[in-house]
Structure 1
Amino acid sequence: MALRTILLVLLMLLPSCAGARVLAKDYMTLVKKTSKSSIKSVMRQADRYLEAGHQDTALVYYMVVCNRMDDKLSDEDKHHCAMAFLKKGNIYYMKGGFADALKAYFSGLRIIKTCEDQKGIGRFYNNIANVYCAFNELEKAYTYYETGYKCCSKYRDHQNEYKILTNLTILNVKLGKTREARKCFNLSEKLKDKNSKADNFMGRFNYGLILIAEKNFAQAVSNFKSLLSYSFDVGMEPRFICSAYKKLYKSYMELGERDSTLKYLKLCENTAVKHGIHYFYLDVLLDHADYFDAQGDYKSASRYRARYQKDRDSVYNIHDFDRVKNEQTLYEMDKYDKYIASLNEREKERVLTISAQRYTIAAVSVVTLVVGLLLLVVYRQKKRIDKSYNNLFVVNRNFVNNQEIMRQRLSDAVSRLKESEAEAEQLRGRLAAYDADDVVKDTGASELSDDMAHKAKSGGINDDMRRKLLDSVIDIMENTTEFCRPDFSLARLAVLVGSNNKYVSLVIHDTFHKSFKNYVNDYRIHLACLRMSDTAGYGSYTLNAIAESVGFKSYTTFVELFRKIVGITPSMYRDKLKESV
């Protein structure tokens, strides 16, 4: 069975391929014949072929017009080119080439925006939105429909205004915007052509969709029955009738009327089978299964699902075959499009060749000179940057190496401060030997006042407390690795020195003119530099591991702070260390 199916497909494809070769020859002749014709005449010929149902031939003519687009064309010719892109896109859309259709629509839209006559611009927005609907990008489609509607209203393009309002009605129902759907429907009813069978059908159909969205199922049933009668009376195509059947049995299903639901399910199925409307047929099979599931008739539901699984493969095979044929046609058309474009490009090249040659040598010379200068500038700049990085590295390395000396000097300064305070204490003792009453009268009040002012200025901490607290903070930071803990905080440091957050923060800020965070980060970065230099102890550590060892939770934060404090990145610092060995 499978072998017979493959042979059948091959037999069907062979004539198609042969036909494509014949068409290719004819199309190339056609392109050459139209090379001297005006854009208007080529466009007129294309429209005639399209109306006669010869889409492929019409498409080649539209391609000829599209590839003649030039900014120097008259406004009329530009408008013809825009319409050629629109109709080219329509043909691609009907063949399932949605991406190519969208590209053509956007190309035409850009052209028509430069024309004085922009009456047809709404058609581009409407068709672009249709493509986005096919891709199920409904919000984006909604935006283009709205833009197209505004353009149609502006240029009084009522025919396309009606189409957009009809599409907006359906889209609003899909998006659950029932109020907006009814508003669009009411506007569309004022614009529809009452002599058009399709317009009358879509008007009643959209009205039924709104009734379903509003859960007015009884009225929806009445509407779709009336629509079916109209469809049979005026001879609508079977796909329209299937659409009405489907919404009718959906409404009956919501009302819980089993017999009527089953009746119209069968009618929709029979119509779809009779006229080969495959997508409706498969949908109806699934709806049958859902119906019987709801009734508890699982045996019948299972039977319909089995039919769906069985028939789906054959239907999809037909779809795949149609897609293959369409893809082949689109492939052939793409070749013609490229050929037409190449003819136009050759014509332009002949016009531009002489002027291009005049500037080629000069341009090459200028470019060569500019590139040479840029390379020189880049080279010199790189040398300066390398030198700056080396200087930063040397300065920072010296600072790290001399850190112990600085610590010793700080210890000496603290000792001298203590000696000075002792001398001051002795001096105060000697002054106490004088007349206490006079001293108290003359100086007591002012000293008390000065001491109170100093305490107020220093946040309630006197010099003795400040000195002891500073000694404790420095002792913790210099003689322990508490700051290497990831959770090290101001509160933790305050606990370690036996004080509170406020006093510790005040002492650090007044002494080092830094916040607690910056104060701790300096220690961490300098310790990281020492550990990178310690190849014996930390040579096997990655930079990330070193960052974690000094208390950084985030490697990114470590790199940013390292570069800010040291001037170069950790990786550059380690490379410079290796070079200096």
Structure 2
Amino acid sequence: MSVITICSCLWPLLSYGAGQPEYYARWMKLPSDSLLEKGRAFANDGVHADSALTCFTILVNRYSDKLPKKEKYVCARGYSAMCFVYFFEYFDYSKALESLGKADEISRSIGVEMPQIYMNYGHVYSTIGDQNLDRKSSLLGIDYMLKAFRSALKVKDWSIVNTAFGNTISASYKLGKLDMLAEDWEEYEKTVNRNTDSAEFTKFNIQLYKSLKLMTSGRYKAAIKIFDDVIAEMPLDVSHIRYTLVMLEYKAEAYANMGNYEKAVKSMLRMEKLSKEFEVKDAYIEIYRILAGYYKQLGQLDKMEECYSKYFRVKDEILNYMQAARINEMKFLGEMRNIEAQMEAVKQKAERQRVIMLAVGIVALIVFVSTFIVVRKNKKLLAANRSLYDKNVEIIKSEEEERKARKQYEHQLSELRSRLSALDSPGNEAHVAGNEAAYDGEGRASTEKYKNSNLDDDDKAMLIERIRNVMEDTDSICSNDFSAERLASLVGSKYKYVSQVINETFGCNFSTFLNNYRIKEACRRISDIDKYGHLTIEAISESVGFKSRSTFVTQFKRVTGLTPSEYQKMTRSDYKQ
């Protein structure tokens, strides 16, 4: 299953400011049912996440054990709706699960089973499984989706029946577990005659299931015919486009399994065109990843590289979007907590007008002070980052000059030794040979010492120099399989001696030692805009040997005091000047 799930994640637009204090005060008076509907309307429009969260927060804060069962049920639905906002709008999975936990707790306390809670659990765990390649979480997501399907079937909630089962079909196929749906499939087929409100969706799920069953048995041509039939019948509009995209992706997979990568590419290119036309932005990352693989099979490496470049760029855009969403969330929640505290305090006072004016005044002051503090902190942070950046540039420049000087010194020393050897008289040759023999003997003696980990200063100095020479070879250290054993082999020593020298001389273990060199090389590449300016942060990370972007960011911050994005931004700013 791709990231394109049926009736799945929206691509929300950030909007801040709809939840103003005056609205908050007015919404406080609304009945719980009205608050829930207003919040759901805000959540569904995709641009007023803060207003939706305000409505749901007011609602769930009314919960107490003394409430009647009907009111508790509405609060449980409010918590479930909060999960939707946290998950789809702010990408905050921990808060989404926390909200679901409270909704589940309330529903159990009143003895009411809520299919929506199970389906939201399924969305969260399936997404976590997809993003982290965590099979356990993916299976848990399928389990919850099936619970949602069975629960919704009992109460004839056809929307959840179709959404849950449709997502389960694709997720099970992806994990090679389509057979686990056999019993539920028989029950689902019966809904065709009972479910008149969502008959179109039911028909799509049935065709999807049948086509994927054909795929699992290797009957790709028969599956492709179903995909083509669905695509031909499906209207090209906003409400149906995701169905078409799903079928195009599976059609491409079928062609690829048949070895016909030309047609697989053609199907994916149409999928890309439709995604752009209807602005289904969450589909781009999957499209470019799959296309890159198909172009590789065709030997079209230029197009493969182009797709990977788009893939990494979209990943960066999504990451930046998620960071912006979470910053917006923190800002909103902080202000909302202050507003709630003020509203709770002034509610106890008699004059309603004075209460409203005081709340508005306090909010205005908070916003003003917060803005002032944020602006001032941003200026200080920018100055501090600039200072750190300049220091890092100077350090790298100094180390480069030191390295060149050391290489020059070694070259001169080598020439001097050659000249001295040539000037020696025949009578001295025996003396020189004797010294060389003595040196060799010392080397053998040192080898004996190495066996007992008793390195003398000369041994250490020689080993340190060799280690430095290897670590300055970026082709070697930027290989993602470079290890301490490989380093020991290259310097002609043993692992334990190399480890000992690194620990004693540089005060760190091999992993930290290697990461320091790789981060310095990453800084050089980020600074070399002419050569590496087209690469994303993730591509830079991979090019210097890091397998994980998060590890790269952590180590970059440790070494330089800046994130890679901050460092790149300042580099490009200097480059433009």
Bigger proportion of residues as helix: 1
Higher relative contact order (CA 8 A, sep 6+): 2
